[in-house]
């Protein structure tokens, strides 16, 4: 039945597949099916031009489709990556790194190199030298969720 449908639609079967894949991209998250759909549409374009040629058999069409889908995927990935973007907020999603240089007073002592401080409305786990309660500390770096502090 599928082969009959493909033979009846001729080169338009690739266009149909491409449009189905593009429509599926709207329903499914991610940006992947769009590149395979573009590969199918490009194969459909070639099929319109080459359909009457004797060498344009389904095996060659499938190889061309697979090649174009992979090429479109790599081209799309390169196009969407865009490289490093310059921003006025380079530490926007690096909250620990954005706190470097801030000072705070220890609400409790740092014991065995571990403690916590309050910055704004958040308590942060800290690492640093053992210090008593009430000592002013300065954040020198952020390692993951912990802040590294030293006496200010």
pLDDT in the model for residue 51: 84
Q: Is the pLDDT of residue 138 over 80?
A: yes
The stretch 114-135 carries a mean pLDDT of 91
Q: How far apart are CA 80 and CA 76, in angstroms?
A: 6
pLDDT at 1: 62
* In contact, 36 and 73? CB cutoff 8 Å: yes
Distance CA 145, CA 138 (A): 16
Domain ranges for the chain, please list them.
Answer: 2-81, 95-151
Q: In the prediction, which pLDDT does 76 show?
A: 87
pLDDT at 116 over 80: yes
Of 63 and 9, the structure prediction assigns the larger pLDDT to: 63
Quick one: pLDDT at residue 54? 86
3-state secondary structure 66-87: HHHHHHHHHHHHHHHHCCCCCC
Q: How confident is the model at residue 129 (pLDDT cuts 50, 70, 90)?
A: very high
For 67-94, write each residue's pLDDT tens digit. 999 999 999 888 887 666 777 776 667 7
Res 82: pLDDT: 67
> Is 95-151 CATH 2.40.50.140?
yes
pLDDT of residue 83: 64
Tokens matching residue 74: 């790599």
């Amino acid at each position: 039945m599928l082969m009959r449908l493909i033979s009846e639609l001729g080169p338009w079967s690739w266009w149909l597949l491409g449009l189905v894949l593009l429509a599926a991209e709207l329903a499914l998250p991610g940006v992947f099916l769009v590149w395979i759909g573009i590969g199918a549409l490009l194969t459909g374009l070639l099929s319109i031009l080459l359909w009457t040629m004797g060498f344009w058999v389904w095996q060659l069409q499938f190889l061309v489709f697979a090649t174009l889908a992979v090429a479109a995927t790599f081209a799309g990935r390169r196009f969407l990556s865009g490289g490093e973007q310059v921003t006025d907020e380079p530490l926007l999603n690096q909250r620990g790194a954005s706190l470097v240089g801030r000072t705070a007073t220890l609400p409790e002592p740092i014991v065995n190199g571990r403690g916590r401080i309050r910055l704004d409305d958040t308590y942060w786990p800290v690492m640093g030298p053992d210090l008593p309660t009430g000592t002013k500390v300065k954040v020198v770096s952020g390692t993951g969720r912990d802040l590294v502090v030293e006496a200010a």
